[in-house]
Amino acid sequence: MMSHATTIERLTGDERVYEPNSPISAVDLFCGAGGLTHGLIWAGIRVEAGIDIDKDAEYAFRTNNPGVEFYDWDLTRTDYQEIACLFRPGTIRLLAGCAPCQPFSKLTNGAGKHKDWDLLDHFARIVRGIMPELVTMENVPELAERGRDVYLHFVHTLEDCGYRVAAEVVRCEEYGIPQSRRRLVLLASRLGNIAVPKGECRDPSHYRTVRQTIGELRPLAAGEADPDDPLHVASLLSPINLERIRATPRDGGTRRDWPEHLVLPCHRRPTGKTYGSIYGRMWWDKPAPTMTTLCTGIGNGRFGHPEQDRAITLREAALLQSFPRSYAFWPDGKKLNRTAVARMIGNAVPPKLAEALGRALLSHVAAIVECGGTGYD
């Protein structure tokens, strides 16, 4: 069996740079398919384990993050001591996680009754029990509004435990992600003051685009599959929806361009005038809209391909989330569960955002060491 030290690696282009001696040892809570873990590894952080109750995510997590353990533990029932022993001794410990965002999303009705509403409280409980040196949390911006009490409880827990806390709403496109996605990012440290890193791409004219990201993939018709990539499969469209997408102008067109006989009854009502992006096409030379768990259906947002008469595929959605082309989400030879894979992709922390956070954490630790100590117990 290969050792952990020989399997943890950071990918830089075609190079593989091994990072066996990272000063930071991380555990990823609510890890899903491993977007956060993958980005932290790219940055040079050693991730020891991911924890998630979603068994569908285990294959993707293990396959793409070799040597990192996956535990299908229910974090509402897990004793923090079980998690504490996963960290590598003698390191600076990072507890990372993105609790499910659905309870706080503006797309969710009855948010306070959502089954996952209290998961951030359990994250806080685990932080208080373990007292890791570093914490990072990522979620939708609405967490600080719709979930204000839950969010403030999390922040106050950190502050009461002696952490310096920094939190900002960031734009993912500023981190090289080809997607207009806003996220609430929190970093906390017991070592000293810390800041959320700024994206390096601040000029909108330099944002990575849909064309740059998926423009070279095999063209597909609705219902067609790429024989070389089981995730590059276009959803089959009904005759009426095929007529609708064909009536939607290429490169950014919307349903407002349809002839009257194609307009849905619900869109004829006054309340249907909003959400004009539904059934729309993406623009080639702009970032994509936010990838959701329903992003491979044209009726769920602006998820139409810029010029091909279909919705985007799972592979295209993963690339627009900044996953590498080789990222495997489902076992070969097993019938593809499109709903499960779409959920993994839409819920993921974009790896490029995770990489930026990982680099900031490593720089933070290096600065503390340079100042003459680590500052932790």
Active site residues: 101
113 conformational bin, left if phi > 0, alpha if psi -120 to 50, beta if neither: alpha
Check: CB of residue 36 under 8 Å from CB of residue 98: yes
Q: What is the DSSP annotation of 174-190?
A: GGT-SB--EEEEEEEES
The two tokens of residue 158 are: 């950190």
Q: Which amino acid is at 279?
A: Y
Q: What is the DSSP annotation of 10-27?
A: EEETTEEEE-TT-SEEEE
| Rg value, the chain, Cα | 21
User: Exposure string (b/e) for 151-172, b if CB count within 10 Å is 16 or more?
Assistant: beebbebbeeeebebbbeebbb
Alpha helices in 182-225 (DSSP H): 210-214
Check: CB of residue 298 under 8 Å from CB of residue 281: no
Residue 363 in 3-state DSSP? helix
Check: CB of residue 361 under 8 Å from CB of residue 134: yes
